[in-house]
Amino acid sequence: MNLQKIISILLGVVGVVSIALLITVVSAGDDAVKAGESDGAVNGLMTVAYVVLGIILASVVLFTIYNTLSNPANLKRTLMGVGAFALLALISYFVATGVETPLKEGGVLSKEGSQLVGAALYLFYFLGAIAGGSMLLGGVKKMIR
């Protein structure tokens, strides 16, 4: 058997197990799940989800590393992208200001923690603006042609 057949069979088995666990959880009902009466089914479903997520992440990382290292041009573009992202993250961090903030639970968010939250928001805004600008620029170029 080739690798694609083996992967297809494994995907089918994982899918059937997931469906069986999902049916078990759904048939137990919300009240039983909240009360903890169907912990086995919920834990089984979560385990399958974590295993599938781990396999997906591992395959993406391995595929990316293989493609990046196999072509020097890809490696250069990847390092430039990572560097640009790191630079944007640093700019976001230094633009953000932090203030000590009391939390609802009674704790206190430190100034540094508040600055990190602000930096993450600024980074999100910058990346959103860059993505929107790229789409807009691509659309304008396509319309001009």
Same domain assignment for residues 77 and 131: yes
Give start and end residues of each alpha helix (H) in 36-110. 39-70, 72-95
Q: How far apart, in Å, are the Cα atoms of 114 and each of 39, 56, 117, 125?
A: 37, 33, 5, 17
What domain range is 114 assigned to? 72-145
Last residue of a domain, one of 46, 70, 94: 70
At residue 127, what are phi and psi to the nearest 5 degrees?
-65, -40
Average pLDDT per consecutive 10 residues, the chain (145 residues; last block may be shorter)? 81 83 75 68 78 88 86 88 96 92 88 93 96 95 92
Last residue of a domain, one of 28, 46, 70: 70
Q: How far apart, in Å, are the Cα atoms of 95 and each of 71, 119, 145?
A: 36, 7, 39
What per-residue confidence (pLDDT) applies to 33? 67
Full-model pTM:
0.59
